[in-house]
Amino acid sequence: MTTKTQPSPPGTNLELLADKFAPRHEVMQTQHLVAVAPIEATYTALRGLDFTDIGGAIVDAAFWVRGLPERWKNRHHKTTRVPTRLTFDDMAAGSEWVILGERPGEEIAAGAVGRFWKPVIEWRHVDADAFTEFAEPGYGKIVMSLSVRPYGGERSLLTYDIRVILNDSASRAKFRPYWAVVAPFVKVVQATTLRTIARTAEQRDVQ
């Protein structure tokens, strides 16, 4: 069951859903961006983000390379359909990602469990209400949080927070070399995501 709380006045809630679902983590990578739009317009753009709009040469190349092992494994099967639209709700309905919680107007957090350091990722579905306590050895957990806070009167501070929890020492050892390779690409994806949200919010605000 997804946690959804009543909205509080913007900027008054200092608790993060990311802290709730990943209080202990081996990896944390955070990016920030100031959007020239009020918090309401910025969160609307954040909540309606279509992840298929996040592009650019580096981002596209990173996703293409990451998908090579799975495409090779499935080379004799029918081509997997590439989604043309992928919002938070679409992702939660059609993948192993789950929406962990949302504070409307402030933050949304999603998570996934798997062995994502493997060439072909082995996902494990875990419901939101069991996510924090899930600690089966051999698996890791990813928490992705997107949040917005007021930044002055008519601007907003966007934050993209990625945290990774590993359930045992063997998984930590396997994850470290994987993360050393992918971390720079994750940072580019985070920055591009924030720019996409900010651009949408700024365009909406001037209409």
Convert the pLDDT of each residue in 122-163 to its tens digit. Answer: 889 999 999 999 999 999 999 999 999 999 989 999 999 999
Residue with the bigger pLDDT between 58 and 3: it is 3
pTM for the predicted model, two decimal places = 0.81
Q: Looking at residue 13, what is its pLDDT?
A: 57
Within 13 Å and on the Cβ side, how many CA atoms surround 49? Answer: 23
Look at residue 176 and tell me whether its pLDDT is greater than 50. Answer: yes
Chain segment 65-96, per-residue pLDDT in tens = 344 334 434 444 555 555 567 788 888 887 78
Would you say residue 193 has pLDDT above 80? yes
Q: What is the pLDDT of residue 52?
A: 80
The average confidence (pLDDT) of the chain is 82
- Which pLDDT score, from 0 to 100, does residue 80 have? 52
pLDDT in tens, 17-45: 999 999 999 999 999 999 999 999 999 99
Please give the share of the chain, as a percent, with pLDDT higher than 90. 55
The share of the chain scoring above pLDDT 70, in percent, equals: 77
Closest CA to 116 of 133, 95, 147, 90: 95
Beta bridge partners of 142: 112, 164
User: Which fold, 21-70+83-206?
Assistant: Alpha-D-Glucose-1,6-Bisphosphate; Chain A, domain 4 (3.30.530)
Number of helices followed by number of strands (H, E) in the chain: 7, 7
Looking at residue 93, its pLDDT comes to 84
- Reported as a pLDDT band with limits 50, 70 and 90, residue 116 is confident
Tell me: pLDDT of 2 over 70: no
Q: Average of pLDDT values for 151-176?
A: 94
Among the listed residues 160, 17, 161, the one whose alpha carbon sits nearest the alpha carbon of residue 100: 17
